[in-house]
Structure 1
């Protein structure tokens, strides 16, 4: 059964790496509403916002963790709205939707699975994705009908093939092997294309906004990075052998988990900070935002009917999906509802801070309200 589940899971695991308010019309009196806009991939679209931690309980409300449960059946549109069917998965707790950025409205244009090709405007070779126009073309429409004050971009993970990397590490665990060395070579080979895609996207955002009548100083442009979905190997609470890690949703060997946490994610963060600086954007470093709250991290618990979901004790990352798990596979290893609320808090703190580069971290023993901002 587990072998079959692995095959099913790996078939779409490469997609590892959505419900947007309408842009709206001008307010009475001719004043345009101010907006903050999210662009990019699943890490800001709201992927996995359906879940309040992880549980072994299957069916119904999944011990209270499934926000799609309406009391009689499961309805994921309660969380993802109309973007559930398309797979963009813009959740109602996406990082932007919960942030307070001093604007009248929040517009989420990000889509789960998007690459730079789906962000770039059509005039620069951008292509539609999941039935939607390239995101910067959508941004142009929003910018014309509103006053854009903040743009937050999450991009690069899918260009780098993050989902395929994780799938390879899961497969390696299954066969008693490890993935880090081979996948580090894959990452290094993919970096030039990733750099080009993110750099072009930042330049296209600036040129699109200028064409809409904005000066670069009229709005804040922020590039955010990613957090590790798994802790260091030594901080995984289950033994590095047997089937427990599969059953608990974290089938990665210690060596690979440490590589993801201490090499892959920091490397991507460093690259994105460099690209943000070159593109005249601010940088929000999220590499440590979920530290200690990852899937299978020591000190976290799986929710049970006797232990209600809590942002203080639960995991903030969605477990690995298999055919024995509820939800959709593309939710795998993304921040869950708690993780996204934490990232929302990071954006709120950034909005209240002076322009600059920052890192966001959590506070041990606290919930999502314990997120803190520090100079990067």
Structure 2
């Protein structure tokens, strides 16, 4: 027979009290939730460079030990690379993971190697765990379908007469090459986001900056240098590189950056007036290497194929200028900017509204 009246109420109260006690005991015994990892608060604040030759320091000499051909590693990470010329007071340490010739798959996650080095994104993971990564700067995409360095080689062949002008051979398919590049670069950038997320970072904890490419040559070549002593290019090819190829490539890189909500730094006009071979009387005013031959390397079979690797990359002065502009951009809150020469002759980060 079920209890009725006041007996039923007493029984119900006892059950409720018992359940409450069990729940309290269970809560006391439950393990504390494991806090998610995150950016270490008191660790060194670091700036990381990832990508290809334009940010590794190719062309600036003084390469880090182990990256100048040793055991097949030709990543050419220079101590004069732009990332080391930022001089940001809020940064304790700068780390360069970039590798000359690296395509987007090697920048992202996966098994792709470049000059014996594994995925740059995988190498980012322990850095993010041990340091407080405040910004990551990426320069990538040109070594994917565009194969920009090979295009410049084709332009040289056009000058020698061994091939047709590069604006005729590559020009008609250039836009399609860049279009095929965009999803590959986007994938690499998403991989970087994934690595940072797995390390406990929110997207607001760090800056992801994607920079485009500068035109290393232009139509204002000094007449006496438009040959093998400096810049062996046809004038119509030089115009195509500066006015068509680089702007289209810039648009593609900008699109990939926008797809992952990364900040974008436009370098397409950064070298105007300071391209290779643009100043016959004062070469120190140029920010890019001319046709560069490492003659000693030609005497060694294992180095001969890399004897021209530095050609048409930013030189030490160029990396210094790009580093200055990058530092200014890091310190702003602008989503996009362009590196343009100011009244003082140096590069500065101009916001997209003014570029």
With structure 2 as the length reference, what TM-score do the two structures score? 0.79
Q: Compute the displacement of 1:322 (Å).
A: 4.7
- From the superposition, tell whether residues 249 and 205 of structure 1 become closer, same or farther in structure 2 (CA, over 3 Å): same
Residue 238 of structure 2 aligns to a residue whose secondary structure is: helix
Q: Is 1:46–1:89's contact at 8 Å kept on the other side of the alignment?
A: yes
Matching residue within 263, 268, 273 for 1:282: 263
Matching residue within 28, 34, 59 for 2:45: 34
Q: Compute the displacement of 1:128 (Å).
A: 2.1
Distance 1:178 1:133 in 2: 36
Per mean C-alpha deviation after superposition, the further-off stretch among 270-279 and 213-222 is 270-279
List per-residue Cα deviations over 1:312-343 (Å, max 9, x = no partner).
xx311111135769893110100000001010
Distance 2:131 2:295 in 1: 45
In the alignment, structure 2 segments of 5+ residues that lack a partner are 1-39, 298-305
Equivalent residue runs for 1:222-233 within 5 Å: 222-231=209-218, 233=219
Q: Is 2:228–2:291's contact at 8 Å kept on the other side of the alignment?
A: no
Matching residue within 173, 179, 188 for 2:166: 179
Q: Compute the displacement of 1:372 (Å).
A: 1.6
- From the superposition, tell whether residues 300 and 289 of structure 1 become closer, same or farther in structure 2 (CA, over 3 Å): farther
Q: Comparing both chains, which one has the higher relative contact order based on Cα–Cα distances under 8 Å and sequence gaps of 6 or more? A: 1
Residue 170 of structure 2 aligns to a residue whose secondary structure is: helix
Q: Who wins on radius of gyration, i.e. which is larger?
A: 2
Distance 1:216 1:190 in 2: 30
Distance 1:132 1:207 in 2: 20
In the alignment, does 2:324 pair up with 1:345?
yes
Partner of 1:245: 226
Partner of 2:147: 161
Counting matched residue pairs gives: 299
Residue 347 of structure 1 aligns to a residue whose secondary structure is: helix
In the alignment, does 2:132 pair up with 1:147?
yes
Q: Compute the displacement of 1:365 (Å).
A: 7.0
In the alignment, does 2:203 pair up with 1:216?
yes
Distance 2:314 2:159 in 1: 22
- From the superposition, tell whether residues 365 and 105 of structure 1 become closer, same or farther in structure 2 (CA, over 3 Å): closer
Equivalent residue runs for 1:320-339 within 5 Å: 320-322=291-293, 328-339=307-318
Q: Is 2:326–2:349's contact at 8 Å kept on the other side of the alignment?
A: no
In the alignment, does 2:177 pair up with 1:190?
yes
Residue 326 of structure 2 aligns to a residue whose secondary structure is: helix
In the alignment, structure 1 segments of 5+ residues that lack a partner are 1-28, 51-77, 304-309
With structure 1 as the length reference, what TM-score do the two structures score? 0.75
List per-residue Cα deviations over 1:11-53 (Å, max 9, x = no partner).
xxxxxxxxxxxxxxxxxx9821111100100000000002xxx
Q: Is 2:182–2:255's contact at 8 Å kept on the other side of the alignment?
A: no
Partner of 2:186: 199
List per-residue Cα deviations over 1:294-324 (Å, max 9, x = no partner).
0111x45355xxxxxx4xxx31111113576
Distance 1:192 1:289 in 2: 23
Q: Compute the displacement of 1:353 (Å).
A: 1.3
